């Protein structure tokens, strides 16, 4: 549409940036000659120069939140150095680049001053943080500094990589009250054959040992993972091993996805030989097991008091989360609205769990709202 607009004289210049232009620039240049210039994901200075703009500094603290004000996705690095065979992120995002600690602390302080209470730390690989800048893994040190930022009440870790995971992170989690006992660590599979082909740098034995160590150091941690079903060469035996492992490990949160054959990845050279219907059946079987586990774990919370952060108000309920839940992907806590219930988005409140479903908890407030 924009190319047509340029042809019609409605647009003077057409500039394109983003993941696709980073990955497929040569092909796109031939396909859409109307575009004047293409830019990758880390070419802001060149983009501004092309626009004849003055690049003085990046106003990272003045970006608009796309989430409710009380929580923010907090990116600590961009890109990835891992060689996972199925993943196209390095092709689109480039190599791992950590954001300097001082910049992150300053950004966190600005967010807190604006009312943000929860930081959800994200990167393509949290585990790698600091290696490029400081020649050592600095996630534990970063967590301590973020934990000291006044006004930040929850810090949540998403997208940690198992190989090389700094166990000191768990010690910091245990020491600091505002670091959630929650860890999202995509493990992808448990079959050694699959892990080797996926180039994950881990084995069934090392994965099992890591999970055991995590739960030993932080006994009440909520552990989330994601898995891939139908990777090239996955046999019924490989899948059944993963299914039994999910049954035995009893993750607190889990997602499972069908393998997608991504162009130019290492796995793209393999034959995508698991039929789509078989992939879907395997995902369904995994999620059936996890659904039962989730219900059992939720039912164990009935009668307990828990601290909840209110995310939104619906017609009949206030909807919130415990520290064991990340927004959009995990469980929610539903608190019925009554004439005597006074809660607002962004409130912390204590509730008593009254009922449980597979992926939801129901609760009544104990009227200790923190504003």
pLDDT in tens, 277-310: 999 999 999 999 999 999 999 999 999 999 999 9
Q: Please name which of 254, 223, 255 lies closest in space to residue 324, comparing C-alpha atoms.
A: 223
Strands 348-356 and 305-313: antiparallel
Q: Which residue has the higher pLDDT, 6 or 59?
A: 6
Query: How many helices, marked H, and strands, marked E, lie in the chain?
Result: 12, 15
Q: How does DSSP classify residue 100? A: P
Q: Find the helix packing angle between 168-175 and 204-217, rounded to 10°.
A: 20
Q: Which pLDDT tens digit goes with each residue over 343-358?
A: 999 999 999 999 999 9
Residue-level pLDDT at 369:
47
Q: What integer pLDDT is reported at residue 83 of this predicted model?
A: 92
Phi then psi dihedrals of residue 119, to 5 deg: -105, 125
DSSP-assigned states of every residue in 35-97: -SEEE-TT-HHHHHHHTT-------GGGPPPSS-TTEEEEE-EES-----TT--HHHHH-S-E
Task: List, in sequence order, the alpha helices (H) in 223-345.
Answer: 236-249, 276-299
- Residues sharing a CB contact under 8 Å with residue 313, sequence separation 6 or more, in sequence order: 319, 337, 343, 344, 345
* 371 band by pLDDT with thresholds 50, 70 and 90: very low
Query: Which three-class secondary structure state does DSSP give residue 293?
Result: helix
What is the reported pTM? 0.86
More confident residue, 70 or 67: 70
């Amino acid at each position: 549409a924009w190319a047509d607009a340029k042809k019609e004289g409605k647009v003077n210049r057409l500039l394109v940036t983003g993941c696709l232009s980073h990955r497929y620039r040569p092909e796109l240049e031939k396909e859409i000659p109307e575009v004047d210039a293409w830019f990758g994901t880390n070419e802001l200075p060149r983009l501004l120069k092309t626009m004849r703009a003055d690049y003085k500094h990046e106003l990272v603290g003045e970006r608009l939140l796309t989430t409710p004000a009380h929580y923010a996705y907090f990116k600590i690095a961009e890109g990835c150095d891992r060689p996972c065979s199925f993943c196209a992120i390095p092709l689109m995002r480039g190599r791992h680049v950590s954001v300097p600690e001082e910049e992150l602390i300053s950004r966190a302080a600005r967010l807190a001053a604006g009312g943000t209470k929860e930081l959800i730390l994200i990167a393509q690989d949290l585990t790698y943080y600091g290696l490029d800048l400081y020649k050592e893994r600095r996630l534990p040190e970063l967590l301590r500094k973020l934990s000291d930022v006044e006004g930040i009440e929850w810090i949540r870790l998403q997208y940690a990589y198992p190989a090389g995971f700094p166990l000191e992170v768990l010690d910091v989690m245990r020491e600091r009250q505002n670091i959630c006992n929650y860890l999202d660590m995509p493990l992808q599979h448990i079959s050694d054959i699959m892990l080797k082909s996926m180039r994950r740098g881990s084995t069934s034995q090392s994965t099992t040992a890591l999970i055991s160590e995590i739960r030993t150091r932080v006994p009440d941690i909520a552990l989330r993972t994601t898995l891939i079903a139908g990777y090239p060469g996955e046999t019924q035996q490989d899948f059944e091993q993963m299914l039994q492992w999910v049954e035995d490990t009893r993750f607190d949160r889990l997602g499972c996805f069908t393998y997608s054959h991504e162009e130019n990845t290492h796995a793209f050279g393999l034959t995508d030989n698991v039929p789509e219907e078989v992939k879907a059946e395997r995902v369904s079987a995994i999620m059936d097991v996890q659904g039962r586990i989730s219900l059992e774990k939720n039912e164990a919370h009935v009668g307990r008091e828990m601290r909840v952060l209110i995310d939104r108000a619906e017609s009949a309920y206030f909807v919130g989360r415990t520290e064991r839940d990340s927004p959009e992907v995990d469980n929610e806590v539903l608190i019925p609205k009554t004439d005597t219930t006074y809660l607002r988005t962004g409130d912390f409140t204590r509730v008593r769990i009254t009922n449980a479903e597979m992926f939801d908890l129901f609760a009544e407030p104990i009227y200790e709202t923190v504003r």
